[in-house]
Structure 1
């Protein structure tokens, strides 16, 4: 049971990294100068990036602009725009990267290309094409708080589960089907609807779990799967019917 302490202490930072999508964010911060250039707003790229991102649906702000109160108090409510240049002999290539406040890549476009010979025309066209791929992602702010912002502003103590901790045990007979992904599994019901995320750990048959309401651990004991978490300072243990 001691392993639960370490797993839950890790849970919030890992979940924050894995669950963020562009739809969690309504704001994007655009720097005054992209790293690939020597001057601020060189070739008008920064103001163009701001305009294009607003065209997609984001609320974009430059570093020197007055920010909304919720963004000014917590920069983790915004993504940061970066550009990566792909060196080519006969064309200019740019990739748009959107990162959260922890430096994690939330979105990366395909390469926007231009064969214009004049630098400003080439960079502007490549940027427009890169943002064009973002348009195809059908961005729409879903009104939820970014996981990175929640993890940064909320000081949640690590939960210590011991054998002596009393637990409320419930039994869920609904079948949940495990679908593998890059970080572990997602559990879906027969709808099909996603009901829980499972993140791999170093322990066999133990996962960091999040059902959208509670965060805890899913583990196997005695041939049965259990989801354990704390609710109102009480340990809750729920038996799950998982099909891997």
Structure 2
């Protein structure tokens, strides 16, 4: 029995040591188009990927001519993000991959899954599911990196799939919540996959994508990705910023 316990503890210690230290890197580069897609930012995947890494504390840039000189002149200062697609007949599967400047895999998420039939919704849910396995790899400003670069790791085995609920209940919310209030009324205009919210200008300020849950939408305002949901008759835009759940009250008229 002691022998088996020793083997288990030894395996766990190797598992912990294999975790990469992403604080060696402050910057992440996201392509404007993923290789398995035909259009730039198709299904809004590139912008959402950028926003989710920013929520994890990284400074993220698109791989285009606007890339800052500091990163463009030395791409080894940054990691490059990519998505791997492996779809079946009824399931969308996406995996987030981070590579260094030599093409070595530094981090690979678990396989995010979605069974939604509509592509835009399915890809977005699968992407968020994949990011759920990377919450331990946040960038902490002011940390002191080690002098040697992290050892690239092989693609990790997919973690055990955890079923996630798209609408968090009050009991599962973090202790710290920042609440904001948007004063201007937003008007919901129907689209093929949900709605677009416009102000009185009219200017599009947010896009909403339908999910399988009533009164819950995947939302993006161009810089931040999250969810819009109804609680006690009031609409809220919820997202994470610096590991704090922000709940933005929205006056929406449908």
TM-score normalised by structure 1 residue count: 0.49
TM-score normalised by structure 2 residue count: 0.47
Question: Which fold has the larger relative contact order, with Cα–Cα distance below 8 Å and residues 6 or more apart in sequence?
Answer: 1
* Structure with the larger helix share: 1
Larger Rg, first or second structure (1 or 2): 1
